[in-house]
Chains A and B, each alone.
Chain A
């Protein structure tokens, strides 16, 4: 199939919606089964699913799944509507999507490393954006934004991505092989 990076057709609409719904459900579910960690670092395994959707289906799907998925997760958990964190999550999905055309074989170590690398950049940009917007909207200072918000979110999401993204990619390879598209 001829893939185009910035295409936005039925495929992107459906996978954007599925990615968002999965992100919302997993984010909500891990609030029920929380993974304890040091300090105020929280692990959100749903982030690996978001980055996987970006890598597999492109930047639009990543952006939409992250933005809408965060709105959904907040709606399910009752946290409110925080547009800058939703947009930050969207960026976290968009940037790994830029690697879509580079991924040829979802089982190959090189392709997995590329996906994790783009995922790490996505997490950094997305969480930095959200944390810095907290500075503008909430009036917190730069150090609080970086230490209190960005660092825990970045570390937690990065660990989750390094552990779970390769598993998702290898499983997806089997699905692609079976369906032939």
Chain B
């Protein structure tokens, strides 16, 4: 079993950007969605188009990412979309209160009882579901490419240069370096247990017994890594780790394109906040759609 990163160098404009610029841009857009709470699809669609543009610039192969997309689409469409469609929850209150312009209505009775509830899908709720899906997909499209396009070796130095303390950044760097070793230890343990008749792929029995039978895989790897950890601590202490600020092998330097990218992120965040303060960004739907349903 080989632990492999999803990252591959691809010589794209996205990968040529400074990783700090990409993280700051992502933070700005997440903040814009969280703080400003924009529900107007006319404002969301340009952001969706921008996210989609950045996603395609990353040139991630479909075969690499299709499994993740299946998961995200199921989550967004079924959990968020259907919830918004049936209940109209999660958004502005006018969506919940609006009961006119019904597209579909059904009374559901729990079998064997007289209890039940009525589901009313209104045109407002249907449009709200579309808005909600666009909103969620915009964020997903921004977040998903990161593991595929950001070198694992630059996470530590990126967070250090963004102001995180040396020790925490070093921990991050060290963790990324431990992955191949622990992956190898895990593979050796799986093989050793298989040689003793342990069936990894067909864990039978009830839930608790299946979980307990994972212990022969998890415990040896964990305990071995703790013993190794003591040796690493000794080696680092002997080299006086933590006494002075560290230097990093990889140096990061902002280019003009990075400042432009950060500027774009900050501008979107500020614009979202200003629009919200001016009263824009509330849930909107075309008048024609309401008129069409009578």
- From B110-118, B200-208, B262-270, B274-282, give the one contacting chain A: B200-208
Check A75 for interface membership: any CB of B closer than 8 A. Answer: yes
How many angstroms from the CA of A118 to the CA of B42 in the assembled complex?
Answer: 47
Check B52 for interface membership: any CB of A closer than 8 A. Answer: no
Smallest beta-carbon distance B197→chain A, Å: 17
> Which applies to chain A's interface (DSSP): helix, strand, loop or mixed?
helix
Check B242 for interface membership: any CB of A closer than 8 A. Answer: yes
Check B6 for interface membership: any CB of A closer than 8 A. Answer: yes
Structural contact, B211 and A72, CB atoms closer than 8 A: no
Structural contact, B227 and A22, CB atoms closer than 8 A: no
- From B10-18, B100-108, B176-184, B247-255, give the one contacting chain A: B176-184
Smallest beta-carbon distance B1→chain A, Å: 8
How many angstroms from the CA of A98 to the CA of B177 in the assembled complex?
Answer: 28
- Interface readout for B216-237 with A: 1 if CB under 8 Å, 0 if not? 0011011101111110110011
Chain A residue at minimum C-beta to C-beta distance from B220? A171
- Chain A residues with CB under 8 A of B171: 13, 16-17, 20, 64, 68
- Chain B residues with CB under 8 A of A80: 68, 140, 143-147
Structural contact, A76 and B3, CB atoms closer than 8 A: yes
Check B119 for interface membership: any CB of A closer than 8 A. Answer: no
Structural contact, A76 and B6, CB atoms closer than 8 A: yes
- Interface readout for B165-197 with A: 1 if CB under 8 Å, 0 if not? 001101110111111011100100000000000
- Known contacts A25-B3, A72-B175, A78 near B79 by CB under 8 Å: no
- Chain B residues with CB under 8 A of A77: 6, 68, 147
Structural contact, B210 and A35, CB atoms closer than 8 A: yes
Task: Pick the residue among A25, A28, A43, A172 that contacts B226 (CB under 8 A).
Answer: A172
- Chain B residues with CB under 8 A of A15: 226, 229
- Interface readout for A15-27 with B: 1 if CB under 8 Å, 0 if not? 1111011101110
Check B30 for interface membership: any CB of A closer than 8 A. Answer: yes
Structural contact, A139 and B91, CB atoms closer than 8 A: yes
Task: Pick the residue among A18, A33, A171 that contacts B178 (CB under 8 A).
Answer: A18
- Chain A residues with CB under 8 A of B34: 136-137
How many angstroms from the CA of A78 to the CA of B7 in the assembled complex?
Answer: 9
Check B135 for interface membership: any CB of A closer than 8 A. Answer: yes
Smallest beta-carbon distance A25→chain B, Å: 5
> Which applies to chain B's interface (DSSP): helix, strand, loop or mixed?
helix
Number of CB contacts from chain A to chain B under 8 A: 202
Structural contact, A144 and B89, CB atoms closer than 8 A: yes
For chain A, the bracket of interface size reads 35 or more
- Chain A residues with CB under 8 A of B170: 13
How many angstroms from the CA of A45 to the CA of B216 in the assembled complex?
Answer: 12
How many angstroms from the CA of A82 to the CA of B241 in the assembled complex?
Answer: 31
- Chain A residues with CB under 8 A of B37: 139
How many angstroms from the CA of A136 to the CA of B31 in the assembled complex?
Answer: 10
Structural contact, B139 and A138, CB atoms closer than 8 A: yes
How many angstroms from the CA of A13 to the CA of B242 in the assembled complex?
Answer: 10
Smallest beta-carbon distance B128→chain A, Å: 10
How many angstroms from the CA of A176 to the CA of B210 in the assembled complex?
Answer: 28
Check B214 for interface membership: any CB of A closer than 8 A. Answer: yes
Structural contact, A10 and B241, CB atoms closer than 8 A: yes
- Known contacts A75-B152, A81-B147, A163 near B212 by CB under 8 Å: yes
Structural contact, B136 and A138, CB atoms closer than 8 A: yes
- Known contacts A72-B176, A139-B90, A164 near B30 by CB under 8 Å: no
Structural contact, A43 and B174, CB atoms closer than 8 A: no
Smallest beta-carbon distance B101→chain A, Å: 21
Check A150 for interface membership: any CB of B closer than 8 A. Answer: no
Check A8 for interface membership: any CB of B closer than 8 A. Answer: yes
Check A113 for interface membership: any CB of B closer than 8 A. Answer: no
Structural contact, A25 and B214, CB atoms closer than 8 A: no
Structural contact, B183 and A25, CB atoms closer than 8 A: yes
Chain A residue at minimum C-beta to C-beta distance from B23? A81
- Chain B residues with CB under 8 A of A45: 211, 214, 218
